[in-house]
Amino acid sequence: MAEQPAAFEQVEIAGVKIELARAGDGPTLLFLHSVDGVDPGSQWFRLLAQRFHVIAPWHPGFGHSELPGDRFRDVGDLALFYLELVHELEIRDAVLMGASFGGWLAAEVAVRSAAAFTHLVLADALGIKVGDRESRDVADVFAISQEELTARAYHDPGRRTRDYSTMSDRDLLGIARSREAYAYFGWKPYMHDPTLRPWLRRVRIPSLVLWGESDGIVTPDYGRAYAAAIPGARFELVEQAGHYPHVEQPERVVELVTAFAHPDSALAGVGSTSEER
């Protein structure tokens, strides 16, 4: 979460005031966050910014970004917002990356227009329907205890001990707003867009689907189905990671993303667990 609010810029995109973090040099990487938001102080963010020029906005409704009721009803509206952001910030030849809910968003953006992007990276993305009508693909995070949620989300649940009582009122309000926006966009249909999966055929840029092998929110098999729906996409399992591989294995994920999207970067290397199609 935002421990250094000063790290965020206030920008207005399509008439919507949002916050975003920008750092680093190199090819531009637009990172779309999960319900947990953007944390520029995290190891993940700092390592990524050593390889890329990272732009990480807070989605409308999340953190302290506005959510005007007249233009946001579903995730498709958020996708159009991001295409406007790409236009207004003149982003081009960029990597589009999203994690969890942000991965769903990135996929929704890519099926609408990938013109500004060279590569797509999804990490444990939500958003598609894989199972039959009696099988829920995404664990019902609104129906389980906090303890079970943490156990499902992390390979090492012990990492996730937050003491909210020490946080600022501003940060707590941002967390509460993020959870509300997450429910608003993901409640029904639950965490997916029923027609996204067949439209993933429209993603015609190189795509990498990363998945934490211990993810108990959406399983690696769901990730394999995601990759199978995107033409030519590569699937990579990240060991010793749950739903947030970039948080639990930041070095490994930055290495994978760099090798995939920015291979001429000196320190890039790649592991051997690739399930290339």
> Judged by CB under 8 A, does residue 188 bind other proteins?
yes
- φ, ψ for residue 65 (rounded to 5)? -85, 140
User: Which residues are 18's β-sheet partners?
Assistant: 11
Report which of 14, 20, 18 is spatially closest to residue 84, judged by C-alpha positions. 14
Is there binding between residue 135 and other proteins (CB under 8 A)? no
Of positions 12, 41, 144, 240, contacts other proteins by CB under 8 A? 144
| 165 scored as a contact of other proteins (CB under 8 A) | yes
User: Of 90, 132, 134, 163, which lies in the binding site for other proteins, with binding defined by CB under 8 A?
Assistant: 163
The residue (of 69 and 269) whose beta carbon lies closer to other proteins is 69
Instruction: Tell me the backbone φ, ψ of residue 55, rounded to 5 degrees.
Output: -120, 115
Strand order through the sheet with 274-275: 9-13, 16-23, 53-57, 28-32, 94-99, 117-123, 207-212, 234-238, 274-275
**Binding segment (CB under 8 A) for other proteins, from list 85-93, 113-121, 182-190, 204-212:** 182-190
| 132, 134, 145, 276: residue in contact with other proteins (rule CB under 8 A) | 145
Binding string to other proteins for residues 47 to 86, with x set by CB under 8 A, is what?
----------------------x---x-------------
Nearer to other proteins, 70 or 276 (CB): 70
* Whether 250 contacts 84, CB under 8 Å: no
134 binds other proteins (CB under 8 A): no
Nearer to other proteins, 92 or 136 (CB): 136
Contact 29, 95 (CB under 8 A): yes
Amino acid, res. 119: H
Which residue of 33, 152, 155, 177 would you call a contact of other proteins, by CB under 8 A?
177
Helical spans, DSSP H, in the chain:
43-49, 75-88, 101-112, 146-153, 169-186, 196-199, 220-229, 245-248, 250-261
> Where does this chain bind other proteins (CB under 8 A)?
69, 73, 142-146, 163-165, 167, 169, 172-173, 175-177, 179-184, 187-188
